[in-house]
Structure 1
């Protein structure tokens, strides 16, 4: 593969001759408005090229930044076949190597795309990959990128400027390696404490979620979508939090969303500002609403992506959104990976065949099929008259517009040397580390044990790297020899592994096993005990609070960051309520943000440096104390 050289028109305009006809066509002219370029290109494309735009499938980088010739661990088809044979130009990247390798791979992918008849550049998207969570269905650990707390930790900071700086770091590093679309922010409310997706939300408070969501959008897209932007996908419209029994809609047992508290408007609220600010795309959730009424009429009990009442009537007509609507992944076909399967999330329309599901998604108002590359199905729907070409064009137009606005048609390439130099810089890593430490939240410290003074002590640790803990004193092997014990534990969950992806989703009871508080009490008999609980969702913490001398919560913090937090850096506030018991959880309305009588309320935090006045309300703004 060779990269297309830049051409020069008779009037001196530099351009890329993407269709190879030796002249400057309107869609290649960087001086023209994006919408005008879209219309010119759309009229030139074959039906197969237009159909390919409506698919957004998974892709992986090969070893050393090469293109995969065949299927990978996640990707279904070899790269050349899916780009040139299926004309797909939107890809959700999973495995990536170093920054240099990631940049090399994206450049090779763009060179391959130039071989297509009109050289439509590729748009590479990603789920969050700046935190700690490794989940092929939701996020990736930072790897070469700077590492920050998970979005729940950003919410714990309660500061719009902190969120905007975090988002700008994401933007810089994504752009450096050629990722130009973010499959985030997640604007769902953490209203059902058992739900597995809370880690990537901004918590339960609708106002906090709205303000941080807008700050994140501004950090990635800027005031308007342009060549320095990363396009955002706001999800999961109209709010994916109120899952029945807290079960996730990735899986058949979690397909229902319910609103017994009548709080649909709370979940919709955060999307309003982000829509008005121009998010490039919106993603409806898998869930199907049960018993929901809007304007006095029952909403059809089908998944939100299939739901015309939600996508066309609410999102497009009532809220005035005319951007891209991208479905969540694999609503049309089952996904078989190794010995496991994940059924198509065709909730409420399981009886339809793949053709019927695809047709219904288009009729609902969706533009693009996430996780799918079955272009032959759409071609068949058009051929038999079930989908009109004009309907394909309507979605293709929206998708092309984003590519032009991002400047991909004029220069989709990145500099490998610059990527290696600008991704994971010391400056960005320091900023991420500071946010990790500051987001730690002091939940319980009745005797004022924290912050830990710089004194000579012996420390016993579990779940913390001894090298990191050595900043607190001399690490010893036995608690009997210690002056302080530090134990780090994960919020409880019920392991599951039958369906593909299921093992990565923490679901089920929030109770710790009964032996844990007994074991912690034994440690506490020998010396003061500090417990850190990594909260990817709430936990029933009462048994831990009863035996520990101090308890903190973290939302994505390294060992060294946790130690700094315990030494005084912590200033986090709880992004959600902590329940008193599982009985309270089971009685709680899934759509209601927070409990009437929580063990600890959203906004709680005992750390110094943040006044109680901002604890449970709006995020801090410049000058707030």
Structure 2
């Protein structure tokens, strides 16, 4: 195995004479962080400062080597990012087979950073990667990490201590491989049932979201922020839930956020809770507010929101990083998408950068156009003093995370920590705790170990440990079907990662459920990433269960009675599409006569 550099060798890497050895006073850990920041800032060129402002996707080679250019995602090589563009903040897109590989790549990237003129360490971030989702625009498959239910599932447990434990486990696995910023939690309120981003929220209740969001932050950052912490980037300020028609502002047709119920301020409440818990970073959403006192431009461009509310009213002095791709157009999975410059589409990329910085943001997410910012400074359109305001925050975070003292990780420790049996077991226990039983007609649950089972969506070999698996519904005593909440095909790969549109099951799905249920009492488990119209399923099935990222064994543990059922709905389930259409997207619990109410769940 290749030996990676230690913390000591970072300062020994050959650099130009003007910054070598004693000329790097910012490496003196005995100095206050604020003083170290100023010492380093004074040594930086405009180009080096500008590199701090860009936080974008990066990939690794499958074997842990530095990655070359990635045509699939349109990404340059690791070397071009770090050496040529002088960037030091990256969101890791790759999913590696094990912790050792990820740690090896991370150390090689830090070694590359140490070879640059000032040797500024890189900061690696990630979208959520501890559950079952694979949406590269929002979350990643767990891969070698422990698997937990999605945040909606954690919310179904109603257990703040469990959420804190989840954050602590994720922190241990992240830090083992060098990930130091979590691009989560998502504390938006899922007040629009059709919105595609509900899965990573805690539902539609502001108090529960704030409580669990604060616990999440404490788990990742610890009671004291420092070298053992993972900084949390909470999102999406000032709350991304109130989407017109439930459409998502990743796409032009979903750019409008509307507040017909006058509940703009309610969506700020969870952010107040996570700020009180010490959240370090914030990501504003793509959406543009319509019909409010604020300028009708995307929140990343919106000075009255970022400076007026976030900085001045709420007193937040941490890092603000825009959501991805506000400046330049991109091609995603072969489909061209415009920059999400909602309300300022007419501006040039340079003008968009100026507006973002004037709004109060510190970083441009998903962008790497460093040369544009350097040009703006050279032309006098952005002052170097303005660069320094954000650069101080960005450097302070690196110092407080301890990256200058020890940018490297222990490869063997990473191999032992990531996916450790006790961490996996904790995630599986959380999965079981999240299972929410909505109906149980005739007491079909829990089922006995002698039950003959017909299963779909469950590995027959796994199901065979809980009963006798049969080939057809006609042979069974009980059927178990696992289905996905409905969504519409939107025509492109990237759009279809975001489950949007109608909440009604197709006739084909309902006909199949009815056919099986006519032959045998049937349990339907719905992956309820949005509050689907469940009435037709409830009418047909003996039992309906809601889950948000649960393995087959965890589900069957609950259905068989080996583990108790205790989950509770994190949102209302609407009775009809008409009720959804009539509801106000900014108002929680606003669908008339819901089929199931927030907090509903049966015990077994």
Give the structure 2 partner of residue 305 of structure 1. 300
Give the structure 1 partner of residue 584 of structure 2. 589
Distance verdict in 2 for CA 1:578–1:7, change over 3 Å: closer
SS of 1:193's equivalent in the other structure is coil
Give the structure 1 partner of residue 342 of structure 2. 347
Give the structure 2 partner of residue 423 of structure 1. 418
Deviates further, 362-371 or 589-598: 589-598
Distance verdict in 2 for CA 1:7–1:328, change over 3 Å: closer
Give the structure 2 partner of residue 598 of structure 1. 594
Number of aligned residue pairs: give it: 596
SS of 2:571's equivalent in the other structure is coil
Distance verdict in 2 for CA 1:453–1:7, change over 3 Å: closer
1:14-45 per-position Cα deviation (integer Å, ceiling 9, x unaligned): 97678662227431011222111111100111
C-alpha displacement of 1:2: 8.9
The answer to whether the Cα contact below 8 Å between 1:16 and 1:410 also exists between their aligned partners in 2 is no
CA distance in 2, matches of 1:383, 1:606: 64
The answer to whether the Cα contact below 8 Å between 1:129 and 1:142 also exists between their aligned partners in 2 is yes
Give the structure 2 partner of residue 323 of structure 1. 318
Give the structure 2 partner of residue 460 of structure 1. 454
The answer to whether the Cα contact below 8 Å between 2:566 and 2:601 also exists between their aligned partners in 1 is yes
Return the match for 1:550 from 509, 524, 543.
Answer: 543
SS of 1:63's equivalent in the other structure is coil
Give the structure 2 partner of residue 398 of structure 1. 393
Give the structure 1 partner of residue 48 of structure 2. 49
The answer to whether the Cα contact below 8 Å between 2:574 and 2:592 also exists between their aligned partners in 1 is no
Give the structure 2 partner of residue 267 of structure 1. 267
Correspondences of 1:20-31 after superposition (within 5 Å): 21-23=20-22, 25-31=24-30
CA distance in 2, matches of 1:7, 1:508: 54
Return the match for 1:565 from 539, 558, 564.
Answer: 558
C-alpha displacement of 1:451: 1.9
SS of 1:235's equivalent in the other structure is strand
The runs of 5 or more residues in structure 2 that have no matched partner are none
1:41-88 per-position Cα deviation (integer Å, ceiling 9, x unaligned): 001111110000000011001120111122353252111111011110
CA distance in 1, matches of 2:336, 2:403: 36
CA distance in 2, matches of 1:579, 1:16: 62
C-alpha displacement of 1:5: 6.3
CA distance in 2, matches of 1:555, 1:387: 46
CA distance in 1, matches of 2:74, 2:89: 13
Residue 439 of structure 1 pairs with residue 438 of structure 2: no
Give the structure 1 partner of residue 137 of structure 2. 137
Correspondences of 1:102-117 after superposition (within 5 Å): 102-117=102-117
Give the structure 2 partner of residue 379 of structure 1. 374
Give the structure 2 partner of residue 617 of structure 1. none
Deviates further, 305-314 or 265-274: 265-274
The answer to whether the Cα contact below 8 Å between 1:6 and 1:16 also exists between their aligned partners in 2 is no
CA distance in 2, matches of 1:2, 1:543: 60
Residue 205 of structure 1 pairs with residue 201 of structure 2: no
The runs of 5 or more residues in structure 1 that have no matched partner are 9-13, 293-297, 609-625
Give the structure 1 partner of residue 70 of structure 2. 71
CA distance in 2, matches of 1:197, 1:126: 17
CA distance in 1, matches of 2:8, 2:476: 72
Residue 448 of structure 1 pairs with residue 443 of structure 2: yes
SS of 1:65's equivalent in the other structure is coil
The answer to whether the Cα contact below 8 Å between 1:176 and 1:422 also exists between their aligned partners in 2 is yes
The answer to whether the Cα contact below 8 Å between 1:488 and 1:534 also exists between their aligned partners in 2 is yes
Residue 488 of structure 1 pairs with residue 482 of structure 2: yes
Give the structure 2 partner of residue 217 of structure 1. 217
CA distance in 2, matches of 1:346, 1:30: 41
C-alpha displacement of 1:497: 2.8
Correspondences of 1:159-170 after superposition (within 5 Å): 159-170=159-170
CA distance in 2, matches of 1:362, 1:468: 54
CA distance in 2, matches of 1:198, 1:222: 26
The answer to whether the Cα contact below 8 Å between 2:11 and 2:21 also exists between their aligned partners in 1 is no
CA distance in 2, matches of 1:189, 1:417: 40
1:355-405 per-position Cα deviation (integer Å, ceiling 9, x unaligned): 111110000000000000000110111111111110011111100000000
Distance verdict in 2 for CA 1:485–1:318, change over 3 Å: same
Distance verdict in 2 for CA 1:356–1:603, change over 3 Å: same
**TM-score, length-scaled by structure 2:** 0.96
SS of 2:223's equivalent in the other structure is coil
1:462-514 per-position Cα deviation (integer Å, ceiling 9, x unaligned): 1111112113311111111111111111000001233x621211000000112
CA distance in 1, matches of 2:406, 2:6: 11
C-alpha displacement of 1:447: 1.9
Return the match for 2:527 from 534, 549, 552.
Answer: 534
Distance verdict in 2 for CA 1:380–1:24, change over 3 Å: closer
SS of 1:57's equivalent in the other structure is strand
Give the structure 2 partner of residue 250 of structure 1. 250
SS of 1:360's equivalent in the other structure is helix
Distance verdict in 2 for CA 1:299–1:550, change over 3 Å: same
CA distance in 2, matches of 1:457, 1:22: 73
Residue 100 of structure 1 pairs with residue 96 of structure 2: no
1:510-538 per-position Cα deviation (integer Å, ceiling 9, x unaligned): 00112333332222222211110111111
CA distance in 2, matches of 1:326, 1:231: 13
The answer to whether the Cα contact below 8 Å between 2:5 and 2:107 also exists between their aligned partners in 1 is no
